[in-house]
Amino acid sequence: RELRQGEFVIRLDKGDGLMKIGLDIMYNGSVSLGVKKVKEGLVSEWNKEYPQTTVCPGDVISEVNGCHGSPEKLLERIAYDRILNLTISRP
């Protein structure tokens, strides 16, 4: 799908050791996840490397690897997929 205004995609590779992405996340309604805190991990590394698309507390994760519609499905993809394409928006 095409990105909506205010959305961006970040790509993370958890590697063979399945590195932590470094986010505290919470349910954000019935279809997405909210970012509570960015901790040490892949997202903080992304933020250093790509300052124009930083992930911040309050951001919303609406899609993971093409999967959307349920926070449970998003969490499952984050837990089990090695490569993560996260669609993020800032409300």
CB 21 within 8 A of CB 41: yes
Determine the pLDDT at residue 80.
92
Could you report the per-residue pLDDT of 12-60, keeping only the tens digit for each? Answer: 999 987 789 999 999 998 999 999 999 999 999 999 999 999 999 999 9
Report which residue type is found at 54.
Answer: T
pTM here is 0.93
Both tokens assigned to 50 = 């790509």
